[in-house]
Structure 1
Amino acid sequence: MSEFKRISPEQAQALREQGAVVVDIRDPQAFGGGHIQGAQHLDNHSVADFIRQADLDAPTVVVCYHGNSSQSAAAYLVGQGFSDVYSLDGGFELWHSTYPDAIAQGQPE
């Protein structure tokens, strides 16, 4: 079984440009206040649907607040059959300071 990889914002940006899926596991209020453009919000209620509909081989970047919780979530996705999973080191906080123009706002759908 593969393992997830920890990556920097710069590496995550390169993956985004190549079409990687970005999932944000922060709470809905934090997501609504700002998230990486194109990110999908995932929580305990939506993760099962996400897994059912996902391309398990697509690069998937997991984002949390500071890069800690995303490691557990990334490991979980690997355990569910995802083959190319990344945890964003520094989380959304580091992303926001690195790429302030790549932030979107709005509540999860």
Structure 2
Amino acid sequence: MSEFKRIPPEQAQALREQGAVVVDIRDPSTYAAAHISGAQHVDNHNIQEFIRAADLDAPLIVACYHGNSSQSAAAYLVSQGFSDVYSLDGGFELWRTTYPAEISSGDPQ
């Protein structure tokens, strides 16, 4: 895969069930307030550490507020060697309405 794919929440949920990693690129306080269950918070401060520790071949779903910023982040992750990257269409806001039971809160991991 040479570029990321945009996927709706339903497809993202299916990938999660198969072990895909979800990263949330929203700001830390917003992430702490509510995020997709199991999502890792990734921002400019920890992105290099995340990349070093990640399995570049594992499916990776990038989530933001509405699905716009995640596209740029997904393209960046592809450029860093990730081979199976997805941008969550509609972002966290659409996820929250589609899967309200799959929301957690707490400080960034």
TM-score range, shorter chain: over 0.9
The reply to whether residue 37 of structure 1 matches residue 37 of structure 2 is yes
For structure 1, the residue ranges without an aligned partner over 5 or more in a row are none
Asked whether 1:25 is paired with 2:2, we answer no
> 1:24-103 maps to which residues of 2 (within 5 A)?
24-103=24-103
CA RMSD of aligned residues (A): 0.7
Question: What is the alpha-carbon distance in structure 2 between the residues aligned to residue 41 and residue 52 of structure 1?
Answer: 15
Cα distance in 2, alignment partners of residues 100 and 107 from structure 1: 19
Take 2:18 and 2:36, find their aligned partners in 1: how far apart are those partners? 15
**CA distance in 1: counterparts of 2:58 and 2:40, whole angstroms:** 14
State the distance in 2 between where 1:19 and 1:34 align: 21
TM-score (norm 2): 0.98
Show the counterpart of 1:4.
Answer: 4
Deviations 1:38-69 (A, max 9, x none): 00000101000000010000000000000000
Identity among equivalent positions (%) equals 76
| Residues 54-93 of structure 1: CA deviation (Å, up to 9, x unaligned) | 0000000000000000000000000000000000000000
Q: Per the alignment, in what secondary structure is the counterpart of residue 83 of structure 1?
A: coil
Aligned length: 109
DSSP-derived class of the 2:22 partner:
strand
After the TM superposition, which parts of structure 1 deviate over 2 Å for at least 4 consecutive aligned residues? none
Partner of 1:78: helix, strand, or coil?
A: helix
What 5-or-longer segments of structure 2 have no aligned partner?
none
